[in-house]
């Protein structure tokens, strides 16, 4: 083993689990202690102010300055009691991570002293500038100001003695520069549209929220090994490495017992999460070695998105404390499973009904079918946009890789619901339904709950699957902000529900009874969206062919998939509900393309460096050993007598030469391709050039390096190998 690898392994042997014991056995004793949730707000606020704030949150209303001042001073008192010295507006810029800029609570006084101060003005709005964050050209330097504005619907929290206030981030001209602003608008749109539709079934509904439960997958790697891999440090994934002889073939990691050091890390992570009010409930080993998952109890979607962003942050921090690095990349290792973030999504009414849970009576079941079928149609109509919302340089390696859903968007509903939909499609007569027919239909539908109880067939290969009382969108990448896909889903469903209301009302106006109008409309929708329904194996070759016959798109290449942002149907949908203006949409499209380009650019640079400065010198060293050896052999064992004595070495010398020159040639070509690409002005064309002409080199060069890994003396190989990265913990 090379000295770098030996040093890393030696460090590894000194590791012990770092056990952190929470102050109490009971989570309820410390859950949410670092958050300024509604409960806390109620305790700290005068009751009038609390009622006003609560009402504003529930009704998407405005919080006036007096109440904001009250909240600010309550927050300050609460935070300072907990030792906070600073506050920050915490937001989700379009670089995918979270941003913060801390300010101390104190203000100077005239006599040179300071006093602690935090007003409603500072709570509501800040101007962090932050002009280097991506804006897609929205912020010209002369009007570069960016503003953050308080989002009262998500809880403030304390991290590292800093009060963090969730905010949206907008430009001087009011354009959204973050993920949260469009998400909030989509939640509003969904609320409005869903309430209207609920009124067909229940007049008491006055609010519908979208619920999200994410499942976060990640890898852990020891920090000593991590630092010995410049590719992991700089790109979050390995750009080379031959497959380990054994990796996940035996499925012996999945759901296995959690290694001690990892378990200590998870408990510590959970402790931090609980104090921050993130309700992590599930933890387990995932399929690939050193891959894990955690999942919370679902929450209101905006809160859940914030909690996921916070979790990713906390996870990285806690991992460091345990001498691990958490890899959130969608595909850190070639040849073994990558990481996703399933988004479990549903809608919940203020009356406590999960709109995607089959009911117990024919009436509630009709409501269930209404929301189910409208969601299916929304996905059918906006499948390309949904895909665009989750495509990225990292996710490109995962989607369609026979480990994650394919790049074909389809919907799985299970055997029983398939039958229900089929029956519904066939049964509704075009004329007026007889009471008998109606009862029969309702009774049939009334059977759903019992059947679903034991509906355990969960097609893991489907990108969008109904799992009993929610849909699970599985194409989301592990490193992503869930807000982007959730925004698209919410607004697509909102739009669909509004269309449904229009269609049903039109039939009612023409004299049709309500139930019948609903049935009729749903039936039309089933027929319209049928092609998106697929129950079979999504990984199979046949599905690709079948999907293409059905006219479903299969786009796994990012620059192509991203085009869906700008199609007339996407622009219509997103502008109609003011989710994004055309300007904002174009900006986002460009940011995504730029991000894609930069990721490949960085990877190409790192790979070039590793190849030329790490791998090639190593293989030359080894080749020289072999050459010396051959020469020596020839001296002591004259060729005439032992013709084959150096045969193996000679063969290796030749192979090394071949791979070496191919690698060097391709590194040069790759650099030239980058030079050409970087001169292209048009952002889309540049990204396409990177995708088509730079990215392929990453795989090609790697292939030869991985071959060399098998030839070169293990003692010389400079980078930790896959077996070391994925099996040591
Ligand atoms: P699995 O891996 O079997 O899909 P998990 O328990 O890991 O299941 O995760 C399921 C996630 O779905 C959890 O976060 C859970 O809270 C969430 N979930 C359950 N019901 C709903 C719902 N109505 N809306 C949104 N998410 C939900
Ligand atoms: Mg799941």
Give me the residue spans of the domains in the chain: 31-178, 187-580, 595-725
HSE-CB for 439 with a 13 A CA cutoff: 3
pLDDT for the residue numbered 635: 85
According to the model, what pLDDT value does residue 254 have?
79
Distance CA 423, CA 441 (A): 9
Fold observed for domain 187-580 = Creatine Kinase; Chain A, domain 2 (3.30.590)
The domain made up of 595-725 is a member of CATH 1.20.120.1560: yes
Write down the pLDDT at residue 173.
82
Q: Which three-class secondary structure state does DSSP give residue 375?
A: helix
- Which pair of structure tokens corresponds to residue 219? 């890898």
Return the pLDDT at 84.
Answer: 95
Overall average pLDDT of the 103-121 stretch: 89
Q: What is the mean pLDDT of residues 576-584?
A: 95
Candidate from 137-151, 216-230, 271-285, 367-381 with smallest mean pLDDT? 137-151
8, 36, 38, 58, 68 from 42: Cα distances, Å: 52, 10, 6, 15, 14
Q: What is the pLDDT of residue 715?
A: 94
470 lines ligand 1 (CB under 6 A): yes
Instruction: Please give the distance, rounded to the nearest whole angstrom, from the Cα atom of residue 341 to the centre of ligand 2.
Output: 9
Nearest bound ligand to CA 294?
A: 1
* Any ligand 1 atom below 6 A from CB of 676: no
Residue nearest to atom 11 of ligand 1 (CA): 213
**Mean pLDDT within 112-123:** 90
Question: Does ligand 1 have an atom closer than 6 angstroms to the CB of 295?
Answer: yes
User: Which residue blocks in 530-646 are alpha helix, DSSP H?
Assistant: 541-550, 558-562, 568-576, 582-609, 616-636
Ligand 1, atom nearest to 293 Cα: 7
Question: How much is the average pLDDT of 487-492?
Answer: 98
What does the pLDDT read at residue 452? 52
CB of 213 shorter than 6 A to ligand 1: yes
Residue 438, pLDDT score: 64
Q: Which of 214, 295, 353 to mutate to test the pocket of ligand 1 (most atoms within 8 A of CB)?
A: 295
Q: Are 575 and 582 in contact (CB under 8 A)?
A: yes
**Is the pLDDT reported for residue 297 higher than 70?**
yes
Instruction: Give buried/exposed letters for 42-66 (b at 16+ CB in 10 A, else e).
Output: eebbeeebbebbeebbeeeeebeee
Q: What is the atom index within ligand 1 of the atom nearest the CA of 342?
A: 4
| Average pLDDT score over the chain | 92
pTM: 0.95
* Predicted local confidence at residue 249, as pLDDT: 85
Which pLDDT band holds residue 15 (cuts at 50, 70, 90)? very high
pLDDT of residue 86: 95
Report which protein residue has its CA nearest ligand 1's atom 1.
215
**For the ranges 134-138, 173-177, 351-355, the one whose mean pLDDT is highest:** 351-355
Question: Which residues sit opposite 114 in a β-bridge?
Answer: 108
633-682 pLDDT, tens digit per residue, is 888 887 656 567 788 899 999 999 999 999 999 999 999 999 999 999 99
Dig out the tokens for 721 from the structure. Answer: 């190998």
Ligand nearest to the CA of 344: 1
Q: Is the pLDDT of residue 451 over 50?
A: no
CA of residue 212 to ligand 2 center, whole Å = 12
Neighbours of ion ligand 2 (CB under 5 A): 342
Residue with tokens 């293990």: 714
CATH number of 31-178: 3.10.20.70
Nearest Cα to 611, choosing from 656, 676, 654, 660? 660
* Start-to-end C-alpha separation, the chain: 18
H/E run at residue 719: none
Say if ligand 1 is within 6 A of residue 340 CB: no
C-beta of 414 in contact with ligand 1 (< 6 A): no
- Do 31-178 and 595-725 come out as alike in CATH topology? no
Residue 298 CB–ligand 1 contact under 6 Å: yes
Lowest-confidence region among 65-69, 328-332, 602-606 = 65-69
In the chain, what percentage of residues exceed pLDDT 90? 76
Residues contacting 365, CB < 8 A, separation 6+: 358, 359, 442, 445, 446, 448, 449
Which residue among 344, 460, 470, 472 is best mutated to probe the pocket of ligand 1, counting the most ligand atoms within 8 A of its Cβ? 344
User: Does residue 345 carry a pLDDT above 70?
Assistant: yes
Nearest protein CA to atom 13 of ligand 1, as residue: 213
């Amino acid at each position: 083993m090379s000295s770098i690898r030996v040093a890393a392994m030696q460090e590894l042997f000194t590791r012990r689990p770092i056990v952190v014991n929470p102050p109490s056995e009971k989570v309820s004793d410390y859950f949410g202690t670092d958050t300024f949730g509604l409960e806390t707000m109620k305790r700290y606020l005068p009751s009038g102010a609390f009622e006003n704030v609560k009402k504003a949150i529930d009704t998407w209303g405005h919080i006036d300055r007096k109440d904001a001042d009250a909240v600010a001073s309550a927050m300050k008192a609460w935070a300072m009691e907990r030792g906070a010295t600073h506050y920050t507006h915490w937001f989700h810029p379009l670089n995918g991570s979270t941003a913060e800029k801390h300010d101390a609570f104190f203000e100077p006084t005239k006599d040179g002293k300071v006093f602690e101060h935090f007003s409603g003005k500072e709570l509501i709005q800040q101007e962090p500038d932050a002009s280097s964050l991506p804006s897609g050209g929205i912020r010209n330097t002369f009007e570069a100001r960016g503003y953050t504005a308080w989002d009262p619907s998500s809880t403030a929290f304390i991290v590292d003695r800093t009060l963090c206030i969730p905010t949206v981030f907008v430009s001087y001209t009011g354009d959204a520069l973050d993920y949260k602003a469009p998400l909030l608008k989509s939640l509003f749109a969904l609320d409005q549209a869903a309430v209207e539709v609920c009124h067909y079934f229940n007049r008491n509904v006055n609010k519908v929220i979208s619920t999200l439960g994410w499942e976060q997958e990640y890898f852990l790697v020891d920090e000593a090994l991590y630092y010995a891999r410049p590719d992991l440090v700089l790109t979050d994934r390995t750009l080379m490495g031959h497959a380990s002889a054994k990796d996940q073939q035996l499925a012996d990691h999945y759901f296995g017992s959690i290694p001690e050091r990892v378990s200590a890390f998870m408990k510590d992570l959970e402790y931090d999460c609980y104090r921050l009010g993130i309700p992590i409930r599930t933890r387990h080993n995932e399929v690939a070695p050193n891959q894990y998952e955690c999942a919370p109890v679902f929450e209101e979607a905006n809160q859940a998105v914030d909690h996921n962003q916070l979790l990713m942050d906390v996870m990285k921090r806690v991992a460091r404390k345990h001498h691990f690095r958490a890899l959130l990349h969608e595909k850190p290792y070639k040849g073994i499973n990558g990481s996703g973030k399933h988004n479990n999504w549903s809608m919940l009414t203020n009356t406590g009904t999960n709109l995607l849970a089959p009911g117990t009576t024919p009436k509630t079941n009709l409501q269930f079918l209404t929301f189910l079928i409208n969601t299916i149609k929304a996905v059918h109509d906006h499948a390309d946009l949904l895909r665009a919302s989750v495509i990225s340089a990292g996710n490109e390696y995962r989607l369609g890789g026979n480990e994650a859903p394919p790049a074909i968007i389809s919907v799985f509903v299970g055997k029983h619901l398939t039958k229900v939909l089929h029956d519904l499609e066939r049964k509704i007569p075009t004329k007026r339904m007889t009471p008998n027919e109606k009862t029969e239909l309702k009774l049939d539908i009334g059977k759903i709950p019992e059947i679903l109880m034991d509906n355990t067939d969960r097609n893991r290969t489907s990108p969008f699957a109904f799992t009993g009382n929610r849909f699970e969108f599985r194409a989301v990448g592990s490193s992503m902000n869930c807000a982007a896909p959730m925004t698209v889903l919410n607004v697509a469903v909102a739009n669909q529900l509004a269309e449904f209301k229009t269609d049903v009302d039109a039939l009612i106006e023409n004299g049709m009874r309500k139930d019948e109008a609903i049935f009729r409309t749903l039936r039309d929708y089933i027929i319209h969206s049928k092609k998106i329904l697929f129950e079979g194996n999504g990984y199979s070759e046949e599905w690709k062919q079948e999907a293409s016959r059905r006219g479903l798109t299969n786009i796994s290449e990012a620059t192509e998939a991203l085009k869906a942002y700008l199609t007339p149907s996407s622009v219509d949908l997103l502008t109609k509900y003011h989710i994004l203006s055309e300007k904002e949409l174009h900006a986002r499209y460009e940011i995504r393309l730029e991000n894609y380009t930069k990721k490949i650019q960085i990877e190409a640079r790192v790979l070039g460096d590793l190849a030329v400065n790490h791998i090639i010198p190593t293989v030359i060293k080894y080749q020289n050993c072999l050459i010396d050896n051959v020469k020596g052999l020839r001296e002591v064992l004259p060729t005439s007598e032992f013709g084959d004595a150096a045969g193996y070495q000679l063969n290796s010398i030749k192979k090394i030469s071949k791979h070496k020159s191919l690698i060097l040639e391709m590194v040069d070509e790759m650099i030239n391709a980058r030079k050409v690409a970087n001169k292209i002005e048009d952002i889309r064309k540049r990204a396409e050039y990177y995708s088509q002409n730079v990215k392929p080199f990453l795989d090609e060069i790697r292939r030869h390096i991985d071959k060399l890994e098998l030839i070169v003396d293990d003692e010389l190989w400079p980078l930790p190998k896959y077996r070391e990265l994925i099996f040591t913990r």
